[in-house]
Amino acid sequence: MSTDQDVRAAFHTLADHAPSEIDLDALTVRSRPAKWQLRPTLAVCGAVAAVIAAVAGVALVLTPHRHSTPPMAPPAVPLRIGFTVPGYPVALTTVNAKYQEVGFDGETVRVYAAGAFNPATMQGGKRVNVNGHAGYFGRLRVPEPGLMPDLRVLAWPYAPDAWALVAGWEPNSSDTQQLADSLTVAKALRVGGSTPLKVPFRLGYLPAGLSPTSAGATPESPVNEGVITFNDDKLTVTVNRQGLDDAVPHCSGNGAVAVTVRGHHGCFRDDNGVGDGRRLQLEIPGGWLTVQVPRSHTYSDAVLKRIAASATFATLDQPATWFDADSAVPH
């Protein structure tokens, strides 16, 4: 077995035989070199290889064997809404570890978890009283996920270090009118309770180590969409009326491969956009199922098929038949 002395001796031998000068012109390839020109080079290369092998041998002896530990799944996010806005029909719902959100005509209401929103992004706005709390009205100084920076936002703390926002989507209304509308919505907001988010599918199988980290629902036609994301985009399952990328045929281009799963026809195909991942898309009664993974976390096609085969579907255009999202994933 090679020792430290062997390694040092090999380096000294290599140094003793190394040339003191290097002719760069001689290194330029003009024609095939004669055999006598190659021998010194091969000898040096052989010495280098011997040294590398010796060092590697020592490293293998000295380095303890490490067992790789698979990363832990993130905590599961409860797929429920912990607030209500009475009198406002909800058109879309989003939940994740940072905030819960509902949207309706012209307004979005977002309730953040404690510590998840930095009020400094709003402190350049107008100071207003919101339900007895000191809040701000203005435009976000730092973009928030899902909110465009030019939106006018009403923000206030509903509890210590916990903030709520009302974002207005009416571009033609004045600041005065938008503030009045947002204050009306804010007064209607009731934080508390627990309402399940609904999705139009239920899964019987998931690979081990996956936990839901976000979900969304747009139950009204023509979208009729429910989506659950696992481990921060490691896997996403979507069911909706139009399918993803509905402006183009679902199974054309990007190396689409036709497949049938439990009588549902569709394809595997590579994404051509953000994430550059892969998806399985199947046509189901009234819409499409999409099981999607980013390239960096790709499961095999067989695993995606197994997930799709385990799915049960509600009637897409009848949200009353949809499943509670918490019970739509295996535990």
The full 3-state SS of the chain, as one line of letters, equals: CCCHHHHHHHHHHHHHHCCCCCCHHHHCCCCCCCHHHHHHHHHHHHHHHHHHHHHHHHHHHHCCCCCCCCCCCCCCCCCEEEEECCCCCCCEEEEECCEEEEEECCEEEEEECCCCCCHHHCCCCEEEEECCEEEEEEECCCCECCECCCCEEEEEEEECCEEEEEEECCCCCCHHHHHHHHHHHHHHCEEEEEEECEECEECCCCCCCCCEEEEEEECCCCCCEEEEEECCCCEEEEEECCCCCCCCCCCCCCCCEEEEECCEEEEEEECCCCCCCEEEEEEECCEEEEEEECHHHCCCHHHHHHHHHCCEECCCCCHHHCEEHHHHCCC
The least confident of 46-50, 279-283, 297-301, 307-311 is: 46-50
Model confidence band, residue 275 (pLDDT cutoffs 50, 70, 90): low
Are residues 235 and 310 located together in one domain of the fold? yes
- 265 and 182: one domain? no
pLDDT: which is higher, 74 or 114: 114
Confidence of residue 246 (pLDDT cuts 50, 70, 90): low
**Where is the domain boundary, 196, 217, 243?**
196
Q: How confident is the model at residue 61 (pLDDT cuts 50, 70, 90)?
A: very low
pTM: 0.76
> Is the pLDDT at 228 greater than 50, yes or no?
yes
Judgement on whether residues 214 and 147 belong to the same structural domain of the protein: no
- Which residues span the domain enclosing 270? 202-328
- Shared domain check, 241 and 187: no
Q: What is the CATH number of the domain that holds 130?
A: 2.60.120
Whether residue 184 is found in the same domain as residue 247:
no
Q: Structural domain tally of the chain? A: 3
Confidence of residue 310 (pLDDT cuts 50, 70, 90): very high
Task: Tell me the per-residue pLDDT of 98-153, one tens digit each, with 9 for 90 and over.
Answer: 999 999 988 999 999 999 999 988 878 999 999 999 999 998 888 888 887 778 99
Task: Report whether pLDDT(70) > 50.
Answer: no
Mean pLDDT, the chain, rounded, equals 80
What percent of the chain is predicted at pLDDT more than 90? 58
* Within-domain flag for 242: yes
Lowest mean pLDDT among 67-76, 254-263, 267-276: 67-76
